[in-house]
Amino acid sequence: MSTTEWIGRRVRGSPATWSRFWFSSASASTLTAMRVALGVASLGWAVSIAPDLRTFYFDDGLIPSPNYADYRLGLFQWLTSDAAVVVAWAAMVVAAISLIVGKGVRLGAPLLWITTLTLQQGAATALNAGDLLLRIWTAYFALFAVLTPSRFLDVALFGRPSSGATPDRVWPTAPVWLIRLAQIQLTVIYPTTVIAKLDGDTWREGTAALYPLGLQDFERFWLPAFMRENLVVGNLMTWFTLAAEISLPFLLWTRRTRWFGIVVGILLHGGFDYTMRLGFFFPAVVIGYLAFVRASEMDRFLTWAHGRGSKLLTRSTPPEPCDEIVNL
Amino acid sequence: MRLDRNDHLWEPTAEWVAAQFRDEHVAKVVLVRRFSDTPEPGSNDERVWESAEFFTLTMADAGKGNRS
């Protein structure tokens, strides 16, 4: 086949490929796992700010009048009472629980987005990248929930038992475009961050990883001193980070290396989160990695997890005492 | 909030700090910026901390904090 023929065939086939990529359907297990993970992360976020609601948001707090530029949106622009803060927080908790249990998601997902947006914009000074990524996921899910029938949304994490005699679980077949959106969102993070990093001398020299490890306020868990001070270790950490971030988009989108990419990405972000206080960045990024788990793989994993959980519950329940004495 | 771009937060912050010690009749709140250069990796230099006052709120003058 000549190059021209090959290109022609590709171009003719591209609308079908495009359509299949965005608009095909698959088991909703991956989608459901992402939804539950988003609910859990959002609930964690809401619980984490609960002790600081007064400090950040109330009239006698640190940010009594948040500065809303034209491009920023949040209900506290118009609802300025302390009671509105408490109501928004409670609504966020309810919405997050709705995503976790899979009930009323069509209302819960948009509610989660607007309350997350409102609470984050009300204290924008205190935000970090993890908060923003969490907010992006809530926006995607809100859009998906509004445009998608409830039968794809109100699904329990472990689906429902299959009609056959097997212990398999089944999920409805749902559109994949939200998963595609999440995959692309996660992917674009890496070239963006690499371009920003290559602008700085310390990344090219190989010392960048050592600087944040020297910031006491940023430190999360114990690290041996040589990891903070040794130049060779610093070089390896810095260049491994760059190499991983450059290669992750290719690894994740290549069939043979997809799982390797998922493991490298999770380890990379797990390492960041172990060493530095990055708020909710790790759970937020894990939601993106879930999007790269194929529905068939997620089906098998959740079926297995459900089976294991059922066995453990059965084993931990003591047998009922027998009241009758049976004479044989 | 210590950054110059967040200077609109300095006064509410000082008021909030004063409110935490309401029973102790706070007369003045001074916000102090503590900073240090991060030593170059491998240099074994000690971190040297410096400090500078950047905002003062005198309670009698609440609403007219002095920036320094």
| Cβ-count burial A281-299 (b if 16+ within 10 Å, e if not) | bbbbbbbbbbbbbebeebb
Q: Do A125 and B16 touch (CB under 8 A)?
A: no
Tell me the residues of B at the A interface, defined by beta carbons under 8 Å apart. 1, 6, 8-9, 12-13, 15-16, 19, 38-42, 44, 47
Distance from CA of B9 to the nearest CA of A (A): 7
DSSP B14: H
Give the DSSP per-residue string, A158-205: T-EE-SSSS--EE--EEE-HHHHHHHHHHHHHHHHHHHHHHTSHHHHH
The pLDDT of residue A325:
53
Q: How far is CA A255 from CA A24, A82, A122, A183, A261, in A?
A: 18, 51, 42, 14, 10
Distance from CA of A286 to the nearest CA of B (A): 30
CB atoms within 10 A of CB A145: 24
Say if residue B45's pLDDT is above 90.
Answer: no
Nearest partner of A177 among A144, A210, A145, A215, judged by Cα: A144
Residue A127: closest C-alpha in chain B = B1
Rounded CA gap, A229 and A218, in Å? Answer: 16
Q: Are A213 and A227 in contact (CB under 8 A)?
A: yes
Q: Do A214 and B9 touch (CB under 8 A)?
A: no
The pLDDT of residue A68:
72
Distance from CA of A86 to the nearest CA of B (A): 19
The structure tokens listed for B45 are 């230099």
Is A236 an 8 Å CB contact of chain B?
A: no
Q: Are A206 and A238 in contact (CB under 8 A)?
A: yes
In tens, the pLDDT along B17-26 reads: 888 888 888 8
DSSP A219: B
Residue B46: closest C-alpha in chain A = A214
The pLDDT of residue A259:
97
Rounded CA gap, A68 and A137, in Å? Answer: 22
Which residue among B6, B13, B42 places its CB closest to the CB of A231? Answer: B42
Give B8's contacts in chain A (Cβ within 8 Å).
Answer: 67
Q: Are A144 and A28 in contact (CB under 8 A)?
A: no
Residues paired with A174 in a beta bridge? A26
% of chain B residues with pLDDT over 70: 88
Q: Do A230 and B42 touch (CB under 8 A)?
A: yes
Mean pLDDT by 10 residues, chain A (328 residues): 78 83 91 96 95 87 75 81 91 96 94 94 82 95 92 86 78 92 96 91 88 81 84 91 96 96 96 90 96 94 89 71 53
The pLDDT of residue A323:
56
The pLDDT of residue A257:
96
Which residue among A64, A67, A231 places its CB closest to the CB of B41? Answer: A231
Better-predicted residue by pLDDT, B61 or B58 = B58
Helices (H), A24-81: 29-49, 53-57
The structure tokens listed for A252 are 């994740």
Q: Which residue has the tokens 């329940």?
A: A317
- Residue B30 host element (H or E): strand B28-36
Rounded CA gap, A296 and A294, in Å? Answer: 5
Residue B40: closest C-alpha in chain A = A211
In tens, the pLDDT along A54-68 reads: 888 888 888 877 777
Residue type, A89: W
Q: Do B38 and A211 touch (CB under 8 A)?
A: yes
The pLDDT of residue B62:
53
The pLDDT of residue A64:
74
Residue type, A114: I
Which residue among A62, A125, A210 places its CB closest to the CB of B16? Answer: A62
How buried is residue A171: exposed, middle or buried, by Cβ count under 10 Å (0-12/13-18/19+)?
A: buried
Q: Which residue has the tokens 């966020």?
A: A92
Q: Do A63 and B12 touch (CB under 8 A)?
A: yes
Is A23 an 8 Å CB contact of chain B?
A: no
